[in-house]
Amino acid sequence: MRGTASAPGRVNLIGEHIDYNGGTVLPAALSVGVTVELEPRDDDRVLLVADQYDDPVERLISEEASGDWSDPSVGALREARALGLINAGASLTIRSNIPQGAGLSSSAALTVAILKAARAAGGVGRPDDQEIALAARRVENDYLGVPCGIMDQFAVAIAKPGMAMALDTKSLQYDLLDLPQDHTFVVIHSGVSRKLTDGRYKTRKIECDQAKAYFGTDDLCHLDPDAVRSSDLDATIRKRALHCATEHRRVLATVEALKAKDTAGVGDLMNASHVSMRDDFEMSLEPIDALVDDAMSAGALGARLTGGGFGGCITALVANEGKDDWLYELLRLHPRAKFICGA
Ligand code: GLA
């Protein structure tokens, strides 16, 4: 039986690089997304057609990752087979309007949509969405070699547009929160593309592992920031740990500010988050800092880099009234930047 499923992209409103350090994150589903049609096959071939790529690709489900765009699809099908949803290969037709290399979870959305399409094709109503998210994370960690946390897969498997998801990445408990009615989290691509597989994400993960070993905990987010500041840890590693400890607190404060409809407070926390990503986690780039600065000068309440970093998108909190003028001014100053959508 054929199966069809969709998954949205996501923007992380705040809480970067803390989903593998015991923190709480705050992603929201976007209106852009990916749709997959899957037809199980009797042989081990994987046939792929995708609207973001010109040529169809043929792989074998037994193949290891090769650096090709089709790797996430092959990895997702291997997980689908391990879960008993398909018996061999599959033909996939993929339609997506999530920009790649933008920090909007195009890869997580694709793997989750493939797993959900395989579930639909299997016709047995299992596994549930949380298990799908965990399987999609295994594709990244074990097949693609990206040591990411659970945020992206969880958000795109479960979150719905219009709500933010406060996700405790340790317990996997989450709360769904209303987004502001009179303000928008605008998502803008900086024009600088990046790949999670390019090694910089992994370097930050290794640095966090060094901090974990020093403090004797897996949960850098739960350390007292003052204890981190006064430690005699190597200066670079100390900054990485400090970002985790302060960012986690900013997420919890943002959740409270959103509940209190304190948009100015949310904006201040976003700005502080960007400074921490820029100076302590060192995951921003000069053109992105300039975009964030100009987003603020043009009238946003807050603005920050979002996602894995080293390129990709910013998100800015902007009043709906005057939003179009704000956007016009920002894109006029930054011709390489591109409006993606709002949340
Ligand atoms: C990528 C990873 C996530 C998370 C973010 C940074 O999107 O896939 O697990 O670590 O970067 O917050």
Could you give all domains of the chain from N- to C-terminal order, each with its CATH number? 3-178 (3.30.230.10), 183-342 (3.30.70.890)
- At residue 48, the pLDDT reads 98
- At residue 32, the pLDDT reads 95
Indicate which atom in ligand 1 lies nearest the CA of residue 25.
Answer: 12
CA gap 29, 51 in Å, rounded: 22
Taking Cα atoms as reference points, which of 128, 34, 41, 123 lies closest to residue 77? Answer: 41
Asked if residue 89 lies in contact with residue 45, where contact means CB atoms within 8 angstroms, the answer is yes
One digit per residue, pLDDT tens: the chain, 343 residues?
899 999 999 999 999 999 999 999 999 999 999 999 999 999 999 999 999 998 999 999 999 999 999 999 999 999 999 999 999 999 999 999 999 889 999 999 999 999 999 999 988 889 999 999 999 999 999 999 999 999 999 999 999 888 999 999 999 999 999 999 999 999 999 999 877 777 899 999 999 999 999 999 999 999 999 999 999 999 999 999 999 999 999 999 999 999 999 999 999 999 999 999 999 999 999 999 999 999 999 999 999 999 999 999 999 999 999 999 999 999 999 999 999 999 9
- At residue 234, the pLDDT reads 97
Secondary structure of residue 169 in the 3-state scheme: coil
What residues are annotated to the active site?
A: 152
Cβ of 17 closer than 6 Å to ligand 1, yes or no, is yes
Q: Which residue is listed with tokens 């209303």?
A: 178
Give the pairing type, strands 338-342 and 313-319.
Answer: unpaired
Indicate which atom in ligand 1 lies nearest the CA of residue 196.
Answer: 1
Ligand 1 centroid to 307 CA: how many Å? 6
